[in-house]
A and B are shown apart, each in its own frame.
Chain A
Amino acid sequence: MIDFINLYLVPGLTIGSVYALGAVGISMIFGILRFAHFAHGDLMTIGAYGVLTAVWFIPLHPLLLLPFGMALAIVAALAVDQFFYKPLRKLPTIYTVIASFGVALIFRSLAQLFWSSGNQVFIPGVRPPLVLFDTFRISALHAQAIILTVVIAVALHFFLTRSKLGRAMRAVSDEPELAAVAGLDTERVVRWTWVIGAALAATAGVFAGMDTSMHPNLGWNLLLAMFAAAVLGGIGKPMGAIAGGLIIGIAEETATYTWLSDEPLISPSYKSAVAFFIMVALLLFRPQGLFKGRLL
């Protein structure tokens, strides 16, 4: 049992936190701009490289240098929105999907050009895990990821329900035309959506990169699970996306547990297929997700 917690549940929650933070942006962008942002994974990569670079120059813990990665991701997101997505706003959104597919490639090739195509680490060396109650083990990184995600979720909840900007975001996501009629500046809302989405993407990217290692495909490889998380939580429901991310993460990890026999239920090499099947099943049978998100 304790093995299940230490080896499956906690890693599941950790990778789930990464998915959750990434999926918030995907869900918000889907809600407000109405397209599936295929470059979101690579935006995470860019943000994480921003932090990695800061680590080279400033001898501090990577998490303290998060603002550098966030800033880089925010600038990147606002730039591609301005130059590549905004000109296509009046067209059917599938064109923006195609554009974001291209932006994914642009981000990735920039990452390969400026950093390297190989693996890099944030902090060299191995750290012993924290041991609680003699048997419960958790690495500092996993604890940080989970705690920070919870903090962000709470903050996001208050932001969306209490602040003027958060309510305006939900209004635009609900009914964009009515939001304009009510005098809301939709472009401003769009900009803030990118800012928040990119900042959280950078955070997710750093956790993902610290958990394994940093490489240019880091974010793209997480994209599918983040889409699944956004769909599971209900499109346009950032809080749902957080829950969805955690569920997908736990589902992926625990699917490899020895549930029925001594063999893992699903071979670990097929782990990433779990998210896909959850996503497709949802899209077919409950496209509004768990929390009544929007239908396309």
Chain B
Amino acid sequence: MSALLSVQGLTAGYGGVPIIEDIDLDVAEHEIAVIIGPNGAGKSTLLKTVFALTSRISGSVKFIDRDITALKTAQLVPLGISAVPQSRNVFPTLSVDENLDVGTYAAPPGDKQAVRETVLELFPDLKDKLDQPAGELSGGQRQMVAMGRALMSEPKLLLLDEPTAGLSPAYLEIIFDLLLDIRKRGVTILMVEQNAKQALRIADTGHVLVSGKNFVSGTGEALLADDAVRRSFLGGAAT
């Protein structure tokens, strides 16, 4: 099976200074792929580079056999890739409803109303907040708005940067369940997670990123069982 997303030899950073180097990474269709690693390892930078938000130095990114390396950020949504950044991922003065609506603007044509219903089914908490400005919601609800917005364009691939950062353990469970639910609907997920242990449990594949380099990749189970990974990244580090 060919990969949905294929990253090859990717080197990128900010202002010409490389942060991630020579990254290879494949994401197969319908899987949940998780990137873990210490703070500052370049995990966000990797996701941002796929989304053309950093300065790429070399390497390529392919999406369903199409080379998307040179595309601009705004051109990716129509192809079927959506992303939720780590922070500032909602439009704070727009209402929840408007946030979701903005998510459809770059989508390929389709039944917007049906998609909206599906998304609200996934996030029933948002139903009675539709008219509230997104900036006034709690962290967990904001994360749902952000994911909802990203799903409104009916993506094939969803990139998530630490969707559970700063959330209470209760919310963490909810979000992880949601991810499984989203995957069931045919969306492939590539996400960065700090809660490495829990994330690897639901992940099909995991990638450990250290100092901008791909340290090890494998199935979620394999990584959970790997001694080196356990000691360095899952022991006390799983915060």
Q: Do chains A and B touch in the complex (CB under 8 A)?
A: yes
- Whether B85 contacts A183 by the Cβ 8 Å rule is no
- Whether B102 contacts A175 by the Cβ 8 Å rule is no
Of residues 128 to 163 in A, which have CB atoms within 8 Å of B's CB atoms? 161
- Whether A184 contacts B51 by the Cβ 8 Å rule is no
C-alpha spacing A185/B77, complex, angstroms? 11
Q: Which of A161, A178, A183, A186 contacts B76 (CB 8 A)?
A: A183
- Whether B91 contacts A183 by the Cβ 8 Å rule is no
CB of B88 within 8 Å of the partner chain:
yes
Stretch at the interface among A98-106, A166-174, A225-233, A270-278: A166-174
**Shortest Cβ gap from A38 to chain B (Å):** 26
- Whether A180 contacts B91 by the Cβ 8 Å rule is no
Known contacts A167-B94, A174-B91, A180 near B73 by CB under 8 Å: yes
Known contacts A167-B94, A170-B93, A182 near B85 by CB under 8 Å: no
C-alpha spacing A168/B101, complex, angstroms? 10
Known contacts A164-B105, A167-B98, A184 near B74 by CB under 8 Å: yes
CB of B172 within 8 Å of the partner chain:
no
Q: Which of B72, B93, B105 contacts A182 (CB 8 A)?
A: B105
Q: Chain A residues near B51: list those with CB within 8 A.
A: 181
- Whether A181 contacts B101 by the Cβ 8 Å rule is no
Q: Which of B53, B94, B106 contacts A184 (CB 8 A)?
A: B106
Chain A, interface size category, equals: 10 to 19
Q: Chain B residues near A180: list those with CB within 8 A.
A: 53, 72-74
Q: Chain A residues near B76: list those with CB within 8 A.
A: 183
Interface string of A178-200 (1 = CB under 8 A from B): 11111111100000000000000
- Whether B74 contacts A183 by the Cβ 8 Å rule is yes
- Whether B85 contacts A177 by the Cβ 8 Å rule is yes
- Whether A168 contacts B91 by the Cβ 8 Å rule is no
Which chain B residue has the least Cβ–Cβ distance from A180?
B73
- Whether A174 contacts B93 by the Cβ 8 Å rule is yes
Of residues 43 to 79 in B, which have CB atoms within 8 Å of A's CB atoms? 51, 53, 72-78
C-alpha spacing A152/B77, complex, angstroms? 34
Q: Which of A161, A164, A170, A186 contacts B91 (CB 8 A)?
A: A170
- Whether A175 contacts B74 by the Cβ 8 Å rule is no
CB of B13 within 8 Å of the partner chain:
no
- Whether A184 contacts B105 by the Cβ 8 Å rule is yes
- Whether B53 contacts A181 by the Cβ 8 Å rule is yes
- Whether B73 contacts A175 by the Cβ 8 Å rule is no
Q: Chain B residues near A292: list those with CB within 8 A.
A: 93
Instruction: Classify the secondary structure of A's interface with B.
Output: helix
C-alpha spacing A186/B102, complex, angstroms? 13
CB of B206 within 8 Å of the partner chain:
no
CB of B198 within 8 Å of the partner chain:
no
Interface string of B142-154 (1 = CB under 8 A from A): 0000000110010
Q: Chain A residues near B149: list those with CB within 8 A.
A: 182
C-alpha spacing A186/B75, complex, angstroms? 11
Q: Which of B88, B89, B105, B150 contacts A168 (CB 8 A)?
A: B105
Known contacts A175-B88, A177-B53, A181-B85, A186 near B94 by CB under 8 Å: no
**Residue among A164, A178, A185 having the largest count of chain B Cβ atoms under 10 Å:** A178
**Shortest Cβ gap from B127 to chain A (Å):** 20
C-alpha spacing A181/B73, complex, angstroms? 6
Q: Chain A residues near B92: list those with CB within 8 A.
A: 174-175
CB of B103 within 8 Å of the partner chain:
yes
Which chain B residue has the least Cβ–Cβ distance from A174?
B91
Known contacts A175-B91, A178-B88, A183 near B98 by CB under 8 Å: no
Q: Which of B53, B89, B106 contacts A183 (CB 8 A)?
A: B106
Q: Chain A residues near B74: list those with CB within 8 A.
A: 180, 183-186
**Shortest Cβ gap from B239 to chain A (Å):** 26
C-alpha spacing A178/B106, complex, angstroms? 13
Residues of A within 8 A of B (CB): 161, 164, 167-168, 170-171, 174-175, 177-186, 292
Q: A168-B105, A177-B85, A182-B103 are in contact. List 4 more A-B contacts (CB 8 A).
A: A170-B93, A175-B88, A177-B53, A183-B76
A to B CB contacts below 8 Å, 27 in the list: A161-B98, A164-B105, A167-B94, A167-B98, A167-B101, A171-B91, A171-B98, A174-B91, A174-B93, A174-B94, A178-B85, A178-B88, A178-B90, A179-B91, A180-B53, A180-B72, A181-B73, A182-B103, A182-B150, A183-B74, A183-B75, A183-B76, A183-B105, A184-B74, A184-B102, A184-B105, A185-B74
